[in-house]
Amino acid sequence: MKKQRIGWIGLGNMGTPMALNLLKAGFEATVYNRTESKALPLVEKGAALATSIQELVDGSDIIITMVSDDAAVKAVFEAPGGILSCSGLSGKLAIDMSTVSPDTTKYLAGKASELGLAYLDAPVSGSVKPAQDGQLVILVGGEKAHYELAKPIFDCLGKMAIHLGASGAGNSAKLAINLMLAFYFEGMAEMVLFANQKGIATADMMAILNEGAMGCGISKIKTANLVNNDFTAAFALKHLAKDLRLAKEQGLSTNVGLQIEENYRNASTSGLGDLDSAAIVEFLAKQGR
């Protein structure tokens, strides 16, 4: 069966390796990015470069967006020259893989439907390395038939794709899993700081964690960051702070959840936003917690 033609918008730290994996799998892809130079690694691997979103739509059956936040995805769809202003949308499928509010998805899915454009929300769980390795977990909301149409694409991008329900369900699941991630980062940070107060080295405490029942993939991945105090971002703290804000807007109301949201919000605005999300330990250390 002939593979669908892919149009890809958004070539950041996640979008570039994901789009590369589709090219490796033999998909025909057209790419568009506001900063054209970011598209060059894809063009070198065989992607076509669109100079406008209309050109990308013309050469695509499925349009995938992977951008930073709600404002960015709304701009891609609604700004002059954006997806929803293009001709020839009827019968095509848009897949937004960004982490945004379920409300944004429902709004854009409704607008797309009026033009005959199907719409899935499909945010991913996983950061840059899983994106490079095609090992993301893809959380999908929208019509099941559209999910089945997109499944060959998801199979190239991740180790699992799961259909969770109607539009916005993928977004809700992503906010939930990132809430858990924030809990875990906060817990590791508080563990390390408490142990340090008692004279126990961070390296020793992380070894105890990793060799016990509470160790996991994320604790092992972040051990070097905590031990070396190197918080070069794999998943920037400001992005997790944004996700926690979205969860709060969607009804997060537990005492601990709200405290962690506040901590990440304040850490982001205090100059730590571009560091890795595990840098919450630096914020908490300054707060004396």
* CATH number of domain containing 257: 1.10.1040.10
User: Quick check: is 1 in a domain?
Assistant: no
Residues 244 and 270 in one domain: yes
Mean confidence (pLDDT) of the chain: 96
User: Quick check: is 103 in a domain?
Assistant: yes
Residues 105 and 187 in one domain: no
pLDDT, residue 1, reads: 52
- Counting the structural domains of the chain, the total is 2
Residues 27 and 104 in one domain: yes
pLDDT in tens, 22-37: 999 999 999 998 888 8
Please spell the DSSP secondary structure of 217-251, one letter per residue.
HHHHHHHHHHHHT----SSBHHHHHHHHHHHHHTT
Domain boundary among 139, 165, 191: 165
Convert 71-95 to b/e letters by CB count within 10 Å (16 or more is b): ebbbebbeeeeebbebeebeebbbb
Residues acting as catalytic residues: 174
pLDDT, residue 34, reads: 84
- Residue 62 pLDDT > 60: yes
Element (H, E) at 32: strand 29-32
User: Quick check: is 135 in a domain?
Assistant: yes
Phi (first) and psi of residue 143, to 5 degrees: -70, 140
Distance of CA 86 to the CA centre of its chain: 26
Q: Which domain holds residue 154?
A: 6-165
Give the span between the Cα atoms of 139 and 168, in whole angstroms.
10
pLDDT in tens, 117-137: 999 999 999 989 999 999 999
Give the CATH number for residue 19: 3.40.50.720
Residues 270 and 212 in one domain: yes
Domain boundary among 165, 200, 234: 165
Residues 37 and 82 in one domain: yes
Residues 180 and 227 in one domain: yes
**Contacting residues for 94 by C-beta, under 8 A, at least 6 apart:** 62, 63, 64, 65, 77, 83, 112, 117, 118, 119, 120
Residues 150 and 254 in one domain: no
Q: Are 152 and 223 in contact (CB under 8 A)?
A: no
pLDDT in tens, 256-271: 999 999 999 999 999 9
Residues 252 and 182 in one domain: yes
Domain boundary among 165, 181, 200: 165
Residues 120 and 233 in one domain: no
pLDDT in tens, 134-172: 999 999 999 999 999 999 999 999 999 999 999 999 999
User: Quick check: is 253 in a domain?
Assistant: yes
Residues 161 and 195 in one domain: no
User: Quick check: is 190 in a domain?
Assistant: yes
Residues 13 and 52 in one domain: yes
Residues 106 and 237 in one domain: no
Identify the band that residue 289 occupies on the pLDDT scale cut at 50, 70 and 90: low
Q: What share of the chain is helix, strand, coil (3-state, %, to 5)?
A: 55, 15, 30
17, 55, 220, 229, 235 from 13: Cα distances, Å: 7, 24, 22, 22, 9
